[in-house]
């Protein structure tokens, strides 16, 4: 017997309708990349009306339903209008990461078969370079006014503002099957070609609702949210949808992701919540320390995308009163999988024991089931000690990649490629990506654990650990360090810093000092590049 409840399809258009009707006057603030970083203010009602204009523009440009529409854009109100308008009008929003190599961007756009590409005017040189090879793109739209249209060699760009001005703001959002695709993101593809994850309307809504939960991002209509995570990185971790759902004020930082620009926005807009990768918070922290700044507002943040060094969390908490919630996930999980909120029984623990829980990657959010398995696929105990491959399932977990036939799942579970432990409370601790763990004499060493110890040293600005070849042990850890400006330390001092903090045999065999550590297009340490760079490194122990 079915329940007698409306069979309402969960669609992105529901968010647009809701936020316009009930939070229409809430502000959306943007730092405009096409206007020297000028601050632009509008409301959710404006965004919704302009999303309907976007839908009319797509009709005029003859973009068929269910085809893909690409973006190469920073976080702004215009990108939000595309988030809302493209998917609600039954087209698929494909956010492309402009930090990828041009060849990768071309490959991704061709694979997705984007029909239109909306780009920030600052990406005009990039677009000019790739356009001749992007055969499916019929229209290139510069997200700017007609007077600021870039002069380009290979493209006759249309002006976003001109197109919107000419379009009607009336549009009836269609209703359709919630399982239809809403958006598409490609994983960075550090090895092999990138893989497309195609999110449905249903998965987008359920994931965004889960993101708002109190033990997750705890988003409310009282919040002022500054997503530092770019909207081209796994749906901006769901914040563009979640903020619309809750009617939270949005502050969109455009291209200004440096410490100074962010600090200014946090202060001027009275931000209460933010989200970003550790590298961004490291940059902000350095800016605060250098200029001896404090925040005059109370805010909290989510950090994820790579392991957050405990030292960073501690500094933000103790010096700046900012609570950082540690989240784990990936493109294949929309991206949220776990979130680091304490349980009731943790509250009576001493602060340092609470902190030991908070630095883990968090526990499963309702909707995501999670287990760790050994190499035979047998489930391992949730004792916080056994570590194995992390498998997940749930209504916002990938079931297959776009236009790839092979099924990535195993018995209905998605193998994440990450390795970790799970404790009796469900807290996950990531040891490594399976391809980054260091295999020493048949045992595994966690590069993340070693990096966390190194990051707690006062002279260390950034640390990375990779495995390099060792004739006896197969691999041994090499510590790569960027020193803080004006700070000195030595190999021996750094290695001494590990004493008592980890098993002795985990201690790195060598330390190298570098001016810079390479990062990927999503702001993570590029272990792949480091492994290439130090392929020939001779360990003193070898």
* Interacting residue ranges for ligand ADP, rule: CB under 6 A: 187-188, 234, 304-307, 326-328, 330-331, 335, 361, 416-418, 430, 433, 520, 522, 524
Closest to ligand ADP by CB, 104 vs 507, is 104
CB of 314 to ligand ADP, least distance (A): 16
CA angle 356, 287, 360 (to 5 degrees): 15
Closer of 43 and 446 to ligand ADP (Cβ): 446
444, 483, 484, 501: which one is catalytic?
444
Measured from each CB, the residue nearest to ligand ADP is 188
Strands 460-470 and 474-483: antiparallel
Residue 47 near residue 15 (C-beta atoms within 8 A): no
CA triplet 35, 119, 75: central angle to 5 degrees?
65
Q: Rounded to an integer, what distance in angstroms lies between the CA atom of residue 465 and that of residue 537?
A: 13
Q: Pull the structure tokens for residue 279.
A: 């590298």
In the residue annotation, 396 being an active-site residue is answered as no
**Closest to ligand ADP by CB, 418 or 462:** 418
CB of 391 to ligand ADP, least distance (A): 12
Distance CA 417, CA 408 (A): 11
Nearer to ligand ADP, 116 or 359 (CB): 359
| Cβ 94 to ligand ADP shortest distance, Å | 15
**Longest distance between any two alpha carbons in the chain, whole Å:** 72
Task: Report, in Å, the least distance between residue 334 CB and ligand ADP.
Answer: 10
Query: What distances in angstroms separate CA 87 from CA 51, 185, 453, one per listed residue?
Result: 10, 13, 44
- Catalytic: which of 20, 81, 178, 332? 332
161 is catalytic: no
Please give the Cα distance from 100 to 105 (Å, whole number). Answer: 6
Residue of 76, 187, 279, 507 marked active site: 187
With DSSP H G I counted as helix, E B as strand and the rest as coil, what are the percentages for the chain, rounded to 5?
30, 25, 45
Catalytic residue (one of 153, 385, 439, 535) = 439
Q: Which is nearer to ligand ADP, 373 or 539 (CB)?
A: 373
* DSSP state, residue 34: G
Decide if 178 contacts 155 (C-beta within 8 A): no
Tell me if residue 439 is catalytic: yes
Distance CA 69, CA 53 (A): 15
Least distance (Å) between residue 340 CB and ligand ADP: 9
**Nearest distance, CB of residue 303 and ligand ADP, angstroms:** 7
237 is catalytic: no
Q: Of the two residues 16 and 448, which places its CB atom closer to ligand ADP in the complex?
A: 448
The pairing of beta strand 443-445 with beta strand 438-440? antiparallel
Active site residues: 187, 332, 439, 444
């Amino acid at each position: 017997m079915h329940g007698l409840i409306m069979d309402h399809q969960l669609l992105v258009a529901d968010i647009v309708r809701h936020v316009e009707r009930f939070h229409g006057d809430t502000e959306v603030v943007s730092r405009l990349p096409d206007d020297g970083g000028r601050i632009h203010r509008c409301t959710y009602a404006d965004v919704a009306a302009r999303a309907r204009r976007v839908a009319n523009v797509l009709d005029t440009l003859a973009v068929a339903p269910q085809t893909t529409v690409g973006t190469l854009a920073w976080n702004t109100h215009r990108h939000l209008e595309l988030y809302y308008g493209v998917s609600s009008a039954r087209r698929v929003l494909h956010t492309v990461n402009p930090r990828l190599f041009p060849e990768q961007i071309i490959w991704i756009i061709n694979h997705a078969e984007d029909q239109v590409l909306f780009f920030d005017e600052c990406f005009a040189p990039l677009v000019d370079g790739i356009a001749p090879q992007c055969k499916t793109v019929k229209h290139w739209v510069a997200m700017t006014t007609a007077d600021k249209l870039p002069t380009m060699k290979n493209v006759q760009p249309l002006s976003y503002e001109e197109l919107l001005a000419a379009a009607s703001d009336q549009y009836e959002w269609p209703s359709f099957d919630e399982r239809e695709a809403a958006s598409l993101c490609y994983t960075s593809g550090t090895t092999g070609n990138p893989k497309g994850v195609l999110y449905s309307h249903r998965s987008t809504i359920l994931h965004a609702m889960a993101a708002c939960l109190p033990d997750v991002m705890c988003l409310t209509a009282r919040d002022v949210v500054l997503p530092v995570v770019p909207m081209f990185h796994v749906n901006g971790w769901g914040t563009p949808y979640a903020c619309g759902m809750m009617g939270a004020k949005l502050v969109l930082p455009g291209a200004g992701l440096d410490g100074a620009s962010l600090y200014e926005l946090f202060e001027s807009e009275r931000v209460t919540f933010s989200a970003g990768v550790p590298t961004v918070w490291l940059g902000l922290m350095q800016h605060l320390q250098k200029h001896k700044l404090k925040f005059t507002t109370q805010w909290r943040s989510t950090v994820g995308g790579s392991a957050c060094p405990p030292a960073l969390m501690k500094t933000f908490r103790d010096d700046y009163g900012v609570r950082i919630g540690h989240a784990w996930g990936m493109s294949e999980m929309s991206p949220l999988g776990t979130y680091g909120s304490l349980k009731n029984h943790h509250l009576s623990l001493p602060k340092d024991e609470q902190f030991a829980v908070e630095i883990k990657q968090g526990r499963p959010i309702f909707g995501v089931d999670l287990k760790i398995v050994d190499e035979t696929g047998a489930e391992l105990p949730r004792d916080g000690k056994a570590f194995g491959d992390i498998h997940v399932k749930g209504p916002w977990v990938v079931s297959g990649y776009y236009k790839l036939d092979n099924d990535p799942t195993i018995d209905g579970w998605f193998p994440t490629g990450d390795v970790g432990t799970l404790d009796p409370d469900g807290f996950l601790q990531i040891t490594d990506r399976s391809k980054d763990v260091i295999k020493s004499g048949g045992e595994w060493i966690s590069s993340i654990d070693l990096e966390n110890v190194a990051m707690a040293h006062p002279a260390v600005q950034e640390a990375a650990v990779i495995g390099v070849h060792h004739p006896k042990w197969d691999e041994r850890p090499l510590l790569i360090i960027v020193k803080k400006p004006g700070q000195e330390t030595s190999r021996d001092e750094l290695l001494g810093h590990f004493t008592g903090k980890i098993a002795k045999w985990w201690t790195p065999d060598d330390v190298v000092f570098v001016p810079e550590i390479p990062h990927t297009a999503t702001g993570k340490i590029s272990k792949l590049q480091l492994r290439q760079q130090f392929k020939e490194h001779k360990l003193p122990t070898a």
